[in-house]
Chain A
Amino acid sequence: MGRWFINSLILISALWLTLPAVAVELVVNPAVTETSLTQDKVRAIFNMRLLSWPDGTPVRVFVLKDRDPLHREFSKRVLQVFPHQLRRSWDRRVYSGVGQAPQQVDSVDEMRRRVAGTPGAIGYLPEDRIDDSVRKIDLH
């Protein structure tokens, strides 16, 4: 019994450790002047209701596909909503004409390139894929 318990514990720990422990980080175009964002602000931005930075630059939001593991991680951990809820909220705005959806990119590399090349851009990247072309922004 004790042996079974220990084996199970080892197995569970092994599974736990092999889970993709991606630390997802918010990134912005380097010209964005904000250095940190509140949780409320990030939620407002990704729900497409906060439309400009304090200096007036339009906020341009980039996301990965709905089923991308990094997008799921970002939605649940940072925004604290389920990806299908986000999709419905974007669809409701787009298809009733009162808003736009984030721009969807196909890969992490494309995300970095688009955020680096678009004024006012915000997106997210795995911690180890951030370079000087974009700027990491703190959440507080």
Chain B
Amino acid sequence: MTAFEKSTCTSRSHWLCVLFLLLPAATVAAQEPEWWNDLQIHGFLSQGYVDSSDNSFYGDSEQGSFDFREIGLNASFRFSPRWLVSAQLLSRKAGEMSEGGLNLDYGLVDLTVLSDEYRRVGLVAGRFKNPIGLYNDTRDVPFTRPSVFLPQSVYWDKLRDIMLSNDGAQLYGEFYRGRHGLSLQLGVGNPPIDDNLEWAYLGYDWPGSVESDSPGFVGRALYELDDGRLRLALSGITTTMAYRPAEVDPLVAGSIDIDYFVGSFQYNGENWSLTAEYMQEPVRWSGFEDVVRDRRNTADGAYLQGTYRPLPDWELLLRYDAAFHDKTDRDGERQGDEKGLPAHLFYSHTWTFGLTWSPNEHIMLRGQYDRVDGTAFLSNEENPNPFATVRNWYMFSLLLSVGF
């Protein structure tokens, strides 16, 4: 039993392995089967707490909210060096933005066509994570993020469904020469989407539904020096959503074209990292006639983030993040005048101070303080009355996470 357990479980998956192994322990032979080496199971569980001076983010945060929970479990099996299958189940509770139901985060088959020390070329089919920016592919995994919440200017939580994943196929190629690496990904597919997008793009949960109309594209080109000391990337997604009205519906059928582009920079020293990303999102509404005006608009945003690890278990973070609903009206005055709403709804400037303690690979405790001017990244669904939002506010959050 001991030899078997040791030989089949990575340290990260120990707890689950113990559970797994208690069951068949009586029936297995002492000799480990070779294929056990090619099965991996990993997971994580996190609980957050958010307390804000005003406004609601991840639940009723003015009263202190525990409505932030992430639970994920994944398994992968490498049939041969060429074939990998993998899937992850995710339950995510994020205030009104995410209900905590169980979702298939990804489920895919990966065929490596070519692999040597200079390149790896292959094809992924199924539901795959969108390679956008530096963090989107693993955005719900607490210890792959730098902070409790990702910088909202680039990783809007209220738009996460459209960025998250695609059902389709993706080609990838990784090419290496000495210290230099280039990784290219190009995917085509339909994003699985839900009500948050109606709130975000149509301002309300209308009787009909928003659907992904035709396949969209996603791609990333990433250059790495020394396997990640310097990382430079350009990535983007383009997609079209159609609104299908219900039988009785004030809104007629229309479509929304969304593009999303991110430029990324990161430098990793031994004890510190510097990261900056810029996002631009051109959106076009058409066919809605009067209720939702046909128009074009480009949102943008950027952040600059530094992290420093003074001791192996501790990491400090400082970040400035700015997000704008319309890049031609960054102070929100014009949009506010046009709609008769407060200007602060259309921008946000956020200073973030973070502290992370992780005594080992399995446990992480993180605290964060956000000082915010503006409310652009808040969800309308969580803050239905725009006149009740407060321009200058702050937020304290905690996140405890375990992984294996």
Contacts and interface: CB of A to CB of B under 8 A. Distances in A.
A49 B81 contact: no
A18 to B, nearest CB: 21
Interface in A4-63: 38, 40-41, 43-44, 47, 49-52, 56, 58-60
Interface residues of B, number: 55
Contacts of B11: 65, 104-106
Interface in B220-274: 226-229, 268, 270
B34 interface: yes
Interface stretch (B84-92, B206-214, B290-298, B318-326): B84-92
Interface in B303-320: 309, 312
A91 B88 CA distance: 13
Given A58-B38, A94-B42, A100 B84 contact: yes
Given A52-B115, A103-B10, A97 B227 contact: no
Contacts of B82: 51
A105 B228 CA distance: 24
Contact of A94 (B76, B176, B227): B76
Interface residues of A, number: 48
Interface stretch (B50-58, B116-124, B330-338, B369-377): B116-124
Which of the listed residues A81, A95, A102 has the most CB atoms from chain B within 10 Å of its own CB? A95
A101 B34 contact: no
B74 A89 contact: no
Interface string B375-387: 0000000000000
A100 B76 contact: yes
A129 interface: no
Contacts of A102: 10
Contacts of A41: 117
Interface in B67-102: 72, 74, 76, 78, 80-82, 84, 86-88
Contacts of A103: 10, 37
Given A40-B178, A50-B116, A81-B227, A92 B81 contact: no
Contacts of A101: 10, 12, 40, 42
* For the complex of A and B, 8 pairs with smallest distance between CB atoms: A52-B81, A104-B11, A97-B86, A51-B81, A96-B137, A95-B138, A44-B117, A97-B106
6 contacts: A44-B117, A51-B115, A80-B226, A85-B228, A104-B11, A118-B7
Interface of A: 38, 40-41, 43-44, 47, 49-52, 56, 58-60, 65-67, 79-82, 84-89, 91-92, 94-106, 110, 113-114, 117-119
Interface of B: 6-7, 10-12, 32, 34, 37-38, 40, 42, 72, 74, 76, 78, 80-82, 84, 86-88, 106-108, 110, 112, 115-118, 120, 124, 128-129, 131, 137-138, 141, 143-144, 172, 174, 176, 178, 226-229, 268, 270, 309, 312, 360-361
